[in-house]
Amino acid sequence: MKLKKTLLIIILLVFIKLSYAQQSESLSELNKRIKFSSYKSLDLDKGSHKILDLVSQIIKKNDASYLIESHSCMKGKNETNLIKTQKRAEIIKKELIKRGIENSRLVAVGYGETKRIYICTTRVCDLQNERIEIINID
């Protein structure tokens, strides 16, 4: 009986630790998981809605302001990419507002391909420049 209680306590502690680890995922880690359906799309990938739920929980824990940056790869025209990324940043902002974040705490900016983090010649590498970054600016 004592062994069963000990095992039960261990199982509960492992479960609690796993639950806490999932909740404590950092904003920078969550940013990497926000995706749109394709490089042209303004539709969020289905899994991104759950990620934005987690992002909103993190943001609600403080009074800071956040910059929502949207970046693109080099495919397409510069002007088109700037417009697309601005629209994507606005979409993320609207989604966070729907989840209870105040509009005044969010700034949405589309950078197009102007702030690439990977300078490369292959398409696969360049696609890594397609990203959303939500950054605490306080």
Domains along the sequence of the chain with CATH = 2-136 (3.30.1330.60)
| 100: region left, alpha or beta (phi > 0 left; psi from -120 to 50 alpha) | left
- Enter the pTM of the model: 0.80
Structure token pair of residue 84: 């697309």
Rounded Cα distance, 29 and 35, in Å: 13
Closest Cα partner for 131 from 30, 29, 35, 53?
Answer: 35
Rounded Cα distance, 44 and 37, in Å: 6
Give the HSE-up count for residue 51: Cα atoms under 13 Å, Cβ half-sphere. Answer: 20
Q: What is the pLDDT along the chain (138 residues), one digit of tens a residue?
A: 666 666 556 665 555 444 444 444 799 999 999 999 988 899 999 999 999 999 999 999 999 999 999 999 888 899 999 999 999 999 999 999 999 999 999 999 999 999 988 888 787 777 789 999 999 998
